[in-house]
Structure 1
Amino acid sequence: MRIKSNFKATRKGKTKYIKEWCRGLAISETYQLDGTFIVNEAEVYLSVSRTQKGYIYLASPVLLENVFQIYKQRWEIEKLFKALKTQGFNLENTKLTEPDKMAKLIALCAIAFVWCYKVGEWKHQKIKIRVCSNGHNEYSFFRYGLLEIKKLLNNPMAKEAKYNQKIKVL
């Protein structure tokens, strides 16, 4: 799990802020601290990475060599949840309460998410997503694909060939 720099970590009777245990990394460098630490009463291993924007601190209950790769995968899942909740599907607005129906709705939304993402990747190959002045893309692949699919579905005069292209992407 990601932790903030102002969390306190204890090791061998010494307590310091996480950021004090993890100083001096070069940008793009990662480091796994030796031994275990106590953070919020839990015994964990600490890893740190320095990016252009600052430091990322991770705590893990087991020693993992690829902790940042695992964290990156977890972040992809967070993007799915964001799309399901507020960035496209507004799943939280549903009035469903039955677990079976809710599970089916989530499964359908997950399939729709993948479709939007794949269409976004496909469209990005044809027309690149604009990069904003802050260095970030204007749209995620998901959002880029969602907008393309919405445009297609809202246009009753859309050519069948264009529709078939987007279906094949899925």
Structure 2
Amino acid sequence: MTSLSLADLSKLLSPHLPLGKSRLDTLCLVVLGMISARTVNLTLIATEWPGRAKVASTYRRLQRFFQKVSLPNDWAAGIVIALIGKPPSWYLCLDRTNWKLGKTDINVLVLAVVTARYRVPLMWTVLDHAGNSNTAQRIALVKRYLKQFDVSCVRMLLADREFIGQEWLVFLADAKVPFAIRLKEDQIVRTQDGRLLALKWLLRRCKGVRGFTATLPGRDGHRDLELHFGARRIKGGQELLIVASATKASGSHILRKYKKRWSIECLFADCKTRGLNLEDTHLRCPNRLHLLFGILAVSVALINRAAAQLLGLKHPARKKHGHYAKSWFRTGFDVFRKALACGNLAGIIPTRIPKLRLQRQGVV
């Protein structure tokens, strides 16, 4: 990494962040340092500083940055969207990533944007407990999203069996957020002929793909919710994959959309062992973790943009089994790290990105 690389990134981000020059340079060091060193560990990032300062001095500078700097809650969202090119619509994937630091549980609820080429964290909540998120936390995260973006830019919200519940699904339906969410086999529904049955009993003879419509009975003061289902057997017929959507569609269509949920699992791998080694952090404070996750999101967006610029309209090469030889992320990661080693980011990062006014503006 060279001083020129830091200056280029600082010039790119300065219109978008309310930081002085010293703090902005430190943020840029963290962004480029975690890409170059393949870790978010501040001790290792400190060795990437191109100046004459001692490593210990740079490390203390990084510590002070995370102690003192406070940015708006969703400060990275506008930068991420500007970097990936303002797609007209996208899929949203909701999931948690968690690990332990000593006896401390690090637990982050992440809302990621997925397009044909990109999978990038957009908004997140650092949870103060281990285990699943609750309904209030999920609703609060989606409300934050809807304050910044119009609902029309959501092609589908995708989530696994952890993210269920009457209040949660009714909220999404009332907010007109299209969704495809996997339900548990023991979920009780009301069939069109009025019977109350568990899904596993209703689908006991399911072979191939099955599509049907049923109602989720209202509980705890919530209204009934009519849902459209796609179902099929997986794992050699031992388990049912049951996906529900409030949008009228065939069972095969719902299942096909739900397959894109796996993108967020790939994103977590990009952020962890296959890329930036997020679990190397020693930060425990929720505010500092929130800031670190924002910097991570900017780094991932820059890497994905580098892949898109390299490949243009092409796709990565595929092997004989049909899978990519390198993912979009890995392609951009290698290109970006090579450019950092050569000290020349020209053509890798743009000279400027538009300053988006996100408040209810969608991505137009």
TM-score (norm 1): 0.65
AA paired with 2:230?
A: S
State whether structure 2 residue 339 is matched by structure 1 residue 152.
yes
The equivalent position to 1:135 in structure 2, one of 306, 318, 322, is 322
Match of 2:229 among 17, 42, 46: 46
Q: How does 1:16-165 map to 2 (within 5 A)?
A: 16=201, 18=203, 20-21=205-206, 23-25=207-209, 32-36=211-215, 46-48=229-231, 57-60=241-244, 63-65=246-248, 67=254, 71=258, 74-125=261-312, 129-156=316-343, 160=344, 163-165=345-347
Pick the aligned partner of 1:168 from 334, 346, 350.
350
SS in 2 for 1:65: coil
| Greater relative CO, 1 or 2 (CA 8 Å, sep 6+) | 2
| Alignment-mate amino acid for residue 246 of structure 2 | L
Pick closer, same or farther for the CA change 1:166–1:49 going to 2, 3 Å: farther
Distance 1:122 1:20, change over 3 A: farther
Structure 1 residues 64 and 153: CA distance shift in structure 2, 3 A: same
Distance 1:73 1:165, change over 3 A: same
1:126 Cα deviation after fit: 8.1
Distance, in Å, in 2 between the alignment partners of 1:133 and 1:69 is 23
Identity %: 21
Cα contact 2:243–2:258 (8 A) shared by 1? no
Tell me the distance in 2 between the aligned counterparts of 1:33 and 1:127.
38
How many residue pairs align between the two structures? 150
State how far apart, in whole Å, the 1-side matches of 2:216 and 2:205 are: 13
Specify the SS of the correspondent of 1:147. helix
Displacement of 1:124 in angstroms is 1.8
**Does the CA contact (< 8 Å) of 2:212 and 2:228 recur in 1?**
yes
> Does the 8 Å CA contact 1:117/1:145 hold for their aligned counterparts?
yes
SS of the residue aligned with 1:142?
helix
Normalising to structure 2: TM-score of the pair? 0.34
Give the superposition deviation at 1:108. 0.7
The one-letter code matched in structure 2 to 1:64 is T
- SS of the residue corresponding to residue 112 of structure 1 reads helix
Inter-CA distance 113–65: structure 2 relative to 1 (3 Å threshold): farther
Measured against aligned partners, the alpha-carbon deviations of 1:14-68 in whole angstroms (never above 9, x if no partner) come to 85485733x344xxxxx63122489xxxx97531379xxxxx93433x6333655
List gaps (5 residues or longer) in structure 2: 1-158, 162-181, 190-194, 218-224, 234-239, 354-364
Task: Give the direction of change, closer, same or farther, for the CA distance of 1:24–1:49 in structure 2 (3 Å limit).
Answer: closer
Structure 2 residue matching 1:168: 3-state secondary structure: coil
CA offsets per residue over residues 84-103 of structure 1, 9 Å max, x none?
12221111111001112111
Aligned residue type for 2:269: K
CA distance in structure 1 between the partners assigned to 2:310 and 2:346 by the alignment: 14
* 1:166 counterpart SS class: coil
